[in-house]
Amino acid sequence: MSRRPRKSTLAVPLAVAAATAAGLLASPAAGQSLEDDLRTLRERFEALEAENARMSHEIDELRAAQDPAWLNEQRADEIRSLVADVLADADTRRSTNLDSGFMAGWSDHFFLASPDGRFKLAIDGQLQFRYVFNRRERFDRVRDGFEFTRARLTLRGHVFGDKLSFLVRTDPTRNEPGLVTGLYYLRDAWIQYQFNDNWAIRVGQMKVPYNREELVSSAYQQAVERSQINEAMNAGRTQGIELRWAGETSKFYFQFNEGTADSLGGFNLAGGLQPVNTSALQPGVEYAFAARWEELLAGEWRQFQDITSPPDDPFGVMIGVAGFVQEAESIGSGAPRRDEERWYGAAVDLSIEYGGANLFAQGLWSYVDNGGFGLINVYGITVQGGFYTTAKTELFTRFEYGWWNLGSAAFADLNLLTVGMNYYLDGHDAKLSFDLGAAFSIVDQNWLPESSEDNSLTGFRRDFRGQEGQYVFRAQFQLLF
């Protein structure tokens, strides 16, 4: 605040000014003419103006001498006001760039958007760095090492309004069969149009609407990795057209696609399809359809986006049923080979969540009519659950059982038990996970969908007859941004 001069300092000049004014206003001396009186009065007023200017100058000097910070503080107040205006303008331009006409910031993900909201681009990523230790009974008993299991980058958003949305996700290859190591390739790419609150259509490359464990993103799983049953029996990704309907308590998906990826033990039982990012005329299937129905019995849809139940979640129950059918073309050459290999799949799952505890169970069935191997039935069951011991710490366990029915072929049943824990530094966005899996029977080749055990996503390797007791320890840090 500006300071003012003290009254005592100004008393002397003010008194002088008052006396002078009183003298000037007194009556003129007797005997003078009116003209002389006016001249005298004008001279006195001129003298009064000069005296007033002199006293004003002295007062300013006295004010400055007594409080030299008065003018500086006034200037400081002006500068502070100017800086506040500049910062407010910068803050406004950070969220709304008026020059180029777009908005930018953070809302779950980094984003760019037009001021009217018709165009939006969100950028997010997923990093999973993992240590895996595997020990089996014989033949190269111990293997361990580190890997970047996933390092994905996703672009998503909408254009021309929020009804027309899109997603593009890339991923570096992880030395997977049929892919060149270290290159980025297309994981998902689709365009969706939302007709109204209930109906939408999606075209592009996406997951087949089949079993829930595979449909839930790898970023929102409970264990370090999905189950071995899932890796051997899921329907994976495909290219096609999908019709989607969503109600208050029901959802339905119907997809016409290029067929599901053959993950049944790496035997190419259904034609050895690789439908991801392929050309339109590449040999594949004659027809392929998939459908899934979900029913929400309690709770909210949002809580079933992951396989866990934080302490603040409400009670929720969801069931799902799904199926697919496809008929393959002949891709053989030389020796005669049967055309039209048929593959059918069915899945059912149950999810229960209760604020800090959860239970998930699914059953899978695949049927293949193959000319070389005959009729094949594959079954798999997974039961998984967990509970929070603190707001950030969760313990979980999972049991898997699977068996094959392949005529005279003798494949061992799969029996796996996994126990582990999660520590949520910041929900799924920053999470430490540890688990230990043990096989109570041999892990036969039919349960490893990869062509080589070196590529096992789950960490389990192929056992040989007479072996037993294989176990896997996994530790992972996940970062989502």
For position 255, what pLDDT does the model report?
98
**pLDDT of the chain along its 481 residues, tens only?**
444 434 444 444 444 444 444 444 444 444 556 666 667 767 776 777 777 777 777 666 666 565 555 456 666 676 777 777 766 665 555 554 445 567 888 888 889 999 998 999 999 999 999 999 999 988 889 999 999 999 999 999 999 999 999 999 998 866 655 555 556 688 999 999 999 999 999 999 999 999 999 999 999 999 999 999 999 999 989 999 999 999 999 999 999 999 887 667 666 666 556 667 778 877 778 889 999 999 999 999 999 999 999 999 999 999 999 999 998 876 554 444 455 788 999 999 999 999 999 999 999 999 988 777 778 899 999 999 999 999 999 999 999 999 998 766 678 899 999 999 999 999 999 999 999 999 999 998 888 865 566 668 899 998 887 777 799 999 999 999 9
pLDDT tens digits, 141-172: 999 999 999 999 999 999 999 999 999 999 88
Task: Return d(Cα 366, Cα 259) in angstroms, integer.
Answer: 14
- Cβ atoms within 10 Å of 225's Cβ, excluding its own: 25
Contacts of residue 195, defined as CB under 8 A and 6 or more positions apart, other chains included, come to 163, 201
Residues paired with 433 in a beta bridge? 422, 476
Classify each residue of 296-328 as buried b or exposed e, where b means 16 or more C-beta atoms within 10 Å of its C-beta.
beebeeebbebbbbbeebeebbbebebbbbbbb
Superfamily of domain 102-480: Porin (2.40.160.10)
pTM (2 decimals)? 0.77
Closest CA to 214 of 194, 193, 238: 238
Closest CA to 108 of 125, 127, 128, 90: 125
Amino acid at 360: F
Closest CA to 62 of 111, 12, 100: 12
pLDDT tens digits, 310-361: 999 999 999 999 999 998 876 554 444 455 788 999 999 999 999 999 999 9
For position 304, what pLDDT does the model report?
97
Structure tokens at 43: 């001279």
- The CA distances from residue 193 to 109, 116, 159, 187, in Å, are 22, 19, 10, 20
Closest CA to 226 of 480, 479, 476, 481: 476
H or E segment and range at residue 206: strand 199-207
For position 35, what pLDDT does the model report?
64
Domains of the chain: which residue ranges?
A: 7-67, 102-480
- The CA distances from residue 378 to 65, 190, 278, 367, in Å, are 99, 31, 28, 7
pLDDT tens digits, 16-28: 444 444 444 444 4
Give, as one character, the DSSP assignment of residue 227: -
For position 221, what pLDDT does the model report?
98
Task: Return d(Cα 278, Cα 258) in angstroms, integer.
Answer: 10
- The CA distances from residue 260 to 52, 90, 175, 216, 235, in Å, are 100, 52, 21, 17, 5
DSSP assignment of 270-329 equals T-----TT--TTSS-EEEEEEEEEEEEEES-GGGGSSS---TTPPEEEEEEEEEEEEEEP
The CA R_g of the chain, rounded to the nearest whole Å, is 40
Give, as one character, the DSSP assignment of residue 83: H
For position 339, what pLDDT does the model report?
59
Task: Return d(Cα 108, Cα 477) in angstroms, integer.
Answer: 19
Q: Quick one: 390 exposed, middle or buried, by C-beta within 10 A (0-12, 13-18, 19+)?
A: exposed
For the chain, helix, strand, coil in percent to 5 are: 20, 45, 35
